Copies of this chain bind each other. A is one copy, B any other.
């Protein structure tokens, strides 16, 4: 159904248990938060300002509100998470989400170029919201991935117009295991990104990574947004575990392996795919009649209507998916 239906990966849970009785200072100033940050810096192979937040929408809201001036908006594709599935969280901070058409969930460098350029040409645009940054997700909401070439082109446009590029990595691990970008490359091709924990083995938690210094008084900013946990250890301990012995990538790889097995089986059974996704989310087109049957045995996510008689559903794998799960699935599909 999705990649957040179980609790934490056993190793993450184990870390919480092991450290539970330790007396640690609050608000993210604890030892484990510090360790986790160091490990992440090592992973991405550069210095960075890192902050832990409990959920993805919260993270998007905080980063975008922090990077934009009041008169600026954020560019995103129409299918971007911030555009349509965050209940107006971005607008709630006073900023417009400026949507461009997606190509299989992705934002095209050319479209951004064309859109932004006109703010510097033609007559003046003082009555319009200025583009202030660019938001993409990796993988996208459709499970697709930017190739290295695509991301490079997009970042080139961003740099040219001095628009910070922010990557929503809610499922970053799955993307890294399935695509042609290493984490070092990804980190070098944006200004800020977040490493999703909730959907990759944690109980909750995302790590914001600012390549340059974070905006001034960012901890106060987080507090103001209501997102500073008293027991910041909850996030620190989990991320410390996720970045010990490459757990984060191991979890991700496992989910991708399971997804590819599932994809193969779906192909064999002649399922039509709504989109060709290389990651842990697969979108298939099913007849409505058949769906009634499937519903009795399989938990899936309704994605959207395809036409009068068909529906697109999402099947997802995660760290918790086993081969047995996949096998069982195909008893009913």
Contact = CB atoms under 8 A, between A and B. Distances in A.
B56 A230 contact: yes
Interface in A189-230: 198-199, 203-204, 216-217, 219-221, 223-230
B224 A70 contact: yes
A55 B229 contact: yes
B223 A226 contact: no
Nearest to A83: B96
Interface stretch (A127-135, A149-157, A239-247): A127-135
Contacts of A203: 16, 231, 234
B58 A73 contact: no
Given A4-B230, A204-B231, A95 B87 contact: no
Contacts of A281: none
A87 B13 contact: no
Interface in A113-165: 122-123, 126-130
A127 B85 contact: yes
A7 B26 contact: no
Contacts of A296: none
A219 B62 contact: no
A224 B86 contact: yes
Closest 5 pairs (CB-CB, A-B) = A58-B226, A7-B20, A87-B223, A88-B129, A87-B224
5 contacts: A23-B299, A91-B94, A96-B97, A198-B231, A203-B234
